[in-house]
């Protein structure tokens, strides 16, 4: 059974939906984050030869009644277990929050003629904690993939 990239994209959007972003995140951006998560899974589990971008399948769905355009569904044509899927999702979340972080990482304190603003770096600190927590969770999930951590995975 193929991995649904579209389902992972939807889950990612749900998990990060309340996070303010400096500009709108497009479908293509979510797709790229999940695709990089898949690639990172194969790199981190030392299976670089198993990753193949040609295994990404795009399926055109028929347009729904009242809709002008058809939608697309994406799959990675490989069966990945739930732990591997969770790993991909965590890597995609980290990528999302790092993208948001780049917008706020240069804001610290500043002065205007009328006032001085301090602690403008709070959003950066909060994002740093979020990313750090996700990285820790990613490591925990990685060590649950025992076959790869012991070097016996296929």
HEC states along the chain?
Answer: CCEEHHHHHHHHHHHHCCCCCCCCCCHHHHHHHHHHHHHHHHHHCCCHHHCCHHHEEEEECCCCCCCCCCCEEEEECCCCCHHHHHHHHHHHHHHHHHHHHHHHCCCCCEECCCCEECCCCHHHHHHHHHHHHHHHHHHHHHHHCHHHHCCCCC
105 — pLDDT class (breaks 50, 70, 90): low
Higher pLDDT, 34 or 118: 34
Span 72-88, pLDDT tens digits = 999 999 999 999 999 99
Residue-level pLDDT at 109? 47
* Model confidence at 111: pLDDT above 70: no
* Model confidence at 25: pLDDT above 80: yes
Q: What is the pTM of this model?
A: 0.83
Span 48-69, pLDDT tens digits = 999 999 999 999 988 777 777 7
């Amino acid at each position: 059974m193929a991995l649904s990239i579209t389902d992972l994209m939807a889950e990612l959007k749900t998990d990060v939906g309340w996070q303010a972003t400096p500009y709108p995140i497009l479908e293509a951006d979510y797709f790229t984050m999940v695709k990089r998560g898949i690639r990172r899974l194969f790199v981190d589990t030392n299976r670089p030869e198993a990753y193949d971008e040609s295994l990404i399948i795009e399926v055109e769905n028929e347009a729904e009644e009242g809709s002008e355009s058809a939608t697309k569904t994406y799959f990675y044509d490989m069966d990945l277990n739930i732990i591997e899927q969770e790993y991909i999702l965590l890597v995609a979340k980290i990528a999302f929050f790092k993208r948001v972080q780049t917008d706020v990482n240069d804001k610290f304190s500043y002065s205007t003629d009328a006032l001085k603003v301090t602690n403008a770096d709070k959003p950066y600190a909060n994002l740093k904690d979020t990313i750090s927590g996700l990285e820790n969770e990613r490591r925990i999930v990685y060590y649950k993939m025992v076959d790869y951590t012991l070097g016996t995975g296929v």
